[in-house]
């Protein structure tokens, strides 16, 4: 998978091509990279079920991804909930339905913003860090060294990160969701004349098992996507890519992860709400 | 022991190896030399099974490497140790963890047994008391030594050296060359050394192979190499050969030195 970095010569050559040829080359590259990313994804799935699972590596990644991201996820969730509470109250008040602010905050946070905010935080924090770490290992021949020593790099490096992201994103989403509802509660109760008990009762009434399921399905999918993209971008750099290649791969990883999360969110919304009819 | 038969390797439109043939007999230290971009490091990666051949065959004793499945290749790799150009030590591990990596992955040794082997291997490369240091705390020469200790951890039949003296000062280069020669004598291991450092090549090599434009230009013992009347070979050899070679009473060398 040493195809990502283009040399300056090939960039110059690319710029001199007519626009249609450029589009063709870009499209070819995108399709080729997507194919390689899916290949790595399926290799990872195969390796997950191939013993032995190295629990020490998994635990290390769970701590790194989960525990170290907990504070930032809670803070992001809390303030998103506060903003949602303030905006919701202001928008609903003219229609005299400001009592629905709890439902507004709760449903938005649980179904949409909880998993989304957590995924955004982890894409920037963990996805980029996975890419930076793996691409540096690639450039310094550490991944080649693993292979020479008879260790499968996908099994050793990708599987623990993939599993940790897949497990930790839903877990952190639960924290960010509670923090978001807490933020909405704090904002609405302290800034406006909404009764706290009423807010909590309304929130509880509008919290369905289906909604929580949607939230967790989304979070799990986002976690898989972030890990798969982070690992693929890290592995795709060429050994000759150097520091510039590591930087490009890291930025690319964060950007592609964020876009993928948005697209995936739309697709999952369509499947879960329109096709499966979950509420 | 290792036979490379008519091997070709291209990267895009660039032909790196073009029908290369090469024999590495057991117990020899074969130096592969040639200018940058002639496919020396690519050849090592092909032998280690890190990249596939486009055509041709690579044999390790009675096994053809290019036909092996991943699991079989991983088994064969336990007979191969490799010292990378950058040493390629794992940054996140200590020296001891680096050296014990293969033992930890492929054996059921206890921690005590592994630490004993780590101490032995570090002693072999003249390093002691560095077990708990991180690679970032080591000098370039020490990193190469640790890389070599890691390559030796599984008692390999073959050691592949990729530019072992690149980036080191002359004193450390000489020490590394001496270490490679000592290991060859003590362990009777087969070695393939890729280098364009002629001092290193003549110090460690029992056989030498010159690559040029993806093919073998010349091969033989160091004495035979300096007696081959080929301008490309002699130009390459004379540019960096040590004094004891340059001062030899050899008519071919004198001819090229004169030019």
Is B131 a domain residue?
A: yes
Distance from CA of B74 to the nearest CA of A (A): 4
Distance from CA of A142 to the nearest CA of B (A): 5
Is B93 a domain residue?
A: yes
Q: Say how far apart CA A50 and CA A43 lie, in whole Å.
A: 11
Average pLDDT over every residue of A217-243: 90
pTM of structure: 0.84
Sheet containing B190-194, strands listed edge to edge, beginning at the edge strand earlier in sequence: B80-83, B158-162, B190-194, B29-33, B207-212, B215-220
> Which chain A residues touch B106 with a CB distance below 8 Å?
150
Residue A1: band (very low, low, confident or very high) from pLDDT cuts 50, 70, 90? very low
Is B192 a domain residue?
A: no
What is the SS3 assignment for B185?
A: helix
Is B248 a domain residue?
A: no
DSSP string, B222-244: HHHHTT---HHHHHHHHHH--HH
Count CB pairs under 8 A between chains A and B.
53
Distance from CA of A177 to the nearest CA of B (A): 34
Residue of A3, A130, A150 to mutate when probing chain B, most B C-beta within 10 A: A150
Whole-complex ipTM: 0.85
Determine contact: A244 vs chain B, CB below 8 A: no
Distance from CA of A210 to the nearest CA of B (A): 43
What string of H, E and C letters represents the secondary structure of chain A?
A: CCCCCCCHHHHHHHHCCCHHHHHHHHHHHHHHHHHHHHHHHHHHHHHHCCCCCCHHHHHHHHHHHHHHHHHHHHHHHHHHHHHHHHHHHHHHHHHCCHHHHHHHHHHHHHHHHHHHHHHHHHHHHHHHHHHHHHHHHHHCCHHHHHHHCCCCHHHHHHHHHHHHHHHHHHHHHHHHHHHHHHHHHHHHHHHCCCCHHHHHHHHHHCCCHHHHHHHHHHHHHHHHHHHHHHHHHHHHCCHHHHHHHHHHHHHHHHHHHHHHHHHHHHHHHHHHHHHCCCC
Number of domains comprising chain B? 1
- Search chain A and give the residue with CA nearest B47: A148
A148 with B105: Cβ contact below 8 A:
no
A149 with B101: Cβ contact below 8 A:
yes
- Search chain A and give the residue with CA nearest B49: A148
Distance from CA of B247 to the nearest CA of A (A): 39
- Residue labelled with tokens 């399926």: A42
Greater pLDDT, B256 or B16: B16
Is B115 a domain residue?
A: yes
Average pLDDT over every residue of B50-78: 88
Residue from the list B45, B88, B154 with its beta carbon closest to the beta carbon of A142: B88
Dig out the tokens for B147 from the structure: 């890389």
For A97-144, write each residue's pLDDT tens digit.
878 888 999 999 999 999 999 999 999 999 999 999 999 999 999 999
For A197-210, write each residue's pLDDT tens digit.
998 998 888 888 88
For B213-242, write each residue's pLDDT tens digit.
888 888 999 888 888 888 888 888 777 666
Cα A102-A108-A111 angle, rounded to 5 deg? 125
Is B240 a domain residue?
A: no
B105 with A144: Cβ contact below 8 A:
no
Determine contact: B89 vs chain A, CB below 8 A: yes
**A277 pLDDT above the threshold of 80:** no
> Which chain A residues touch B49 with a CB distance below 8 Å?
147
> Which chain A residues touch B105 with a CB distance below 8 Å?
149-151
Determine contact: A36 vs chain B, CB below 8 A: no
> Which chain B residues touch A145 with a CB distance below 8 Å?
82, 84, 88-90
Interface of A with B in 124-143 (CB under 8 A): 136-137, 140-142
> Which chain A residues touch B84 with a CB distance below 8 Å?
141, 144-145
> Which chain B residues touch A147 with a CB distance below 8 Å?
48-50, 77
For B138-188, write each residue's pLDDT tens digit.
988 899 999 999 999 998 999 999 988 888 888 888 888 888 888 888 888
Residue from the list B50, B86, B154 with its beta carbon closest to the beta carbon of A147: B50
A149 with B105: Cβ contact below 8 A:
yes
What's the half-sphere exposure (Cβ side, CA atoms, 13 Å) at B233?
Answer: 21
From the number of C-beta atoms within 10 Å of its C-beta (0-12, 13-18, 19+), residue A228 rates as buried
pLDDT at residue A60, as a whole number: 93
For residue B71, how many other CB atoms are within 10 A of its CB? 9
Greater pLDDT, B61 or A274: B61
For B78-118, write each residue's pLDDT tens digit.
889 999 988 999 999 999 999 999 999 889 899 999 999 99
Determine contact: A239 vs chain B, CB below 8 A: no
**Length of chain A measured in residues:** 279
Residue from the list B50, B86, B90 with its beta carbon closest to the beta carbon of A148: B50
Determine contact: A148 vs chain B, CB below 8 A: yes
Determine contact: B116 vs chain A, CB below 8 A: no
A147 with B86: Cβ contact below 8 A:
no
Distance from CA of B45 to the nearest CA of A (A): 9
Determine contact: A240 vs chain B, CB below 8 A: no
Distance from CA of A43 to the nearest CA of B (A): 13
Distance from CA of B113 to the nearest CA of A (A): 19
pLDDT at residue B124, as a whole number: 87
Determine contact: A7 vs chain B, CB below 8 A: no
A142 with B77: Cβ contact below 8 A:
no
Q: Say how far apart CA A101 and CA A106 lie, in whole Å.
A: 8
From the number of C-beta atoms within 10 Å of its C-beta (0-12, 13-18, 19+), residue A15 rates as exposed
Q: Which residue range is the domain that position B109 belongs to?
A: 81-155
User: Of the ranges A52-56, B39-43, B161-165, which one carries the lowest mean pLDDT score?
Assistant: A52-56
């Amino acid at each position: 998978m040493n195809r990502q970095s283009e040399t300056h010569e090939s960039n110059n050559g690319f710029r001199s091509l007519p626009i249609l040829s450029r589009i063709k080359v870009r499209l070819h590259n995108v399709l080729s990279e997507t194919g390689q990313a899916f290949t790595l994804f399926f290799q990872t799935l195969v390796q997950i079920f191939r013993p032995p699972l190295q629990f020490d590596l998994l635990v290390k990644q769970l701590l790194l991804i989960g525990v170290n991201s907990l504070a930032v996820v809670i803070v992001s969730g809390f303030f998103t909930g506060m903003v949602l509470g303030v905006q919701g109250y202001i928008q609903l008040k003219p229609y005299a339905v400001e009592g629905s602010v709890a439902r507004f905050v709760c449903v938005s946070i649980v179904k949409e913003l909880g998993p989304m905010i957590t995924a955004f935080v982890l894409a920037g924090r963990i996805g980029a860090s996975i890419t930076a770490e793996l691409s540096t290992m690639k450039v310094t021949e550490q991944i080649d060294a693993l292979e020479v020593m008879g260790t499968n790099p996908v099994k050793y490096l990708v599987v623990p990160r993939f599993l940790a992201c897949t497990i930790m994103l839903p877990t952190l989403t639960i924290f960010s969701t509670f923090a978001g509802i807490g933020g909405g509660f704090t904002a609405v109760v302290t800034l406006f004349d909404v009764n706290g008990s009423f807010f909590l009762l309304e929130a509880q009434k509008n919290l369905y098992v289906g909604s929580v399921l949607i939230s967790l399905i989304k979070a799990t999918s986002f976690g898989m996507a972030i890990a798969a993209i982070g690992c693929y971008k890290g592995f795709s750099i060429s050994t000759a890519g150097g520091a510039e290649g590591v930087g490009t791969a890291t930025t690319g990883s964060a950007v592609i992860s964020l876009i993928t999360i948005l697209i995936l969110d739309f697709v999952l919304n369509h499947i879960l709400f329109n096709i499966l009819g979950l509420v | 022991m290792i036979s490379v038969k008519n091997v070709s390797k291209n990267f895009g439109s660039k032909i790196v190896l073009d029908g290369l043939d090469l024999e590495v007999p057991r117990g020899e230290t074969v130096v592969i030399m040639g200018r940058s971009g002639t496919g020396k490091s690519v050849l090592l990666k092909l032998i280690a099974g890190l990249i596939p051949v486009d055509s041709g065959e690579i044999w390790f004793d009675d096994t053809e490497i290019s036909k092996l499945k991943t699991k079989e290749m991983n088994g064969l790799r336990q007979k191969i140790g490799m010292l990378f150009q950058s040493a390629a030590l794992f940054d996140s591990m200590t020296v001891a963890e680096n050296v014990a990596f293969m033992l930890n992955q492929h054996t059921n040794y206890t921690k005590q047994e592994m630490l004993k082997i780590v101490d032995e291997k570090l002693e072999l490369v003249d390093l002691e008391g560095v077990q708990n240091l991180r690679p970032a705390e080591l000098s370039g020469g020490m990193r190469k030594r640790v890389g070599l200790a890691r390559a030796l951890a599984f008692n390999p039949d073959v050691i592949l050296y990729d530019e072992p003296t690149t980036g080191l000062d002359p004193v450390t280069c000489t020490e590394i060359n001496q270490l490679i020669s000592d290991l060859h004598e003590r362990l009777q291991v087969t070695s393939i050394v890729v280098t364009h450092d002629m001092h290193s090549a003549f110090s460690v090599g029992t056989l030498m192979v010159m690559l040029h434009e993806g093919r073998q230009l010349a091969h033989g013992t160091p004495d035979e190499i300096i007696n081959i009347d080929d301008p490309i070979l002699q130009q390459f050899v004379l540019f960096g050969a040590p004094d004891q070679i340059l001062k030899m009473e050899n008519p071919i060398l004198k001819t090229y030195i004169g030019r």
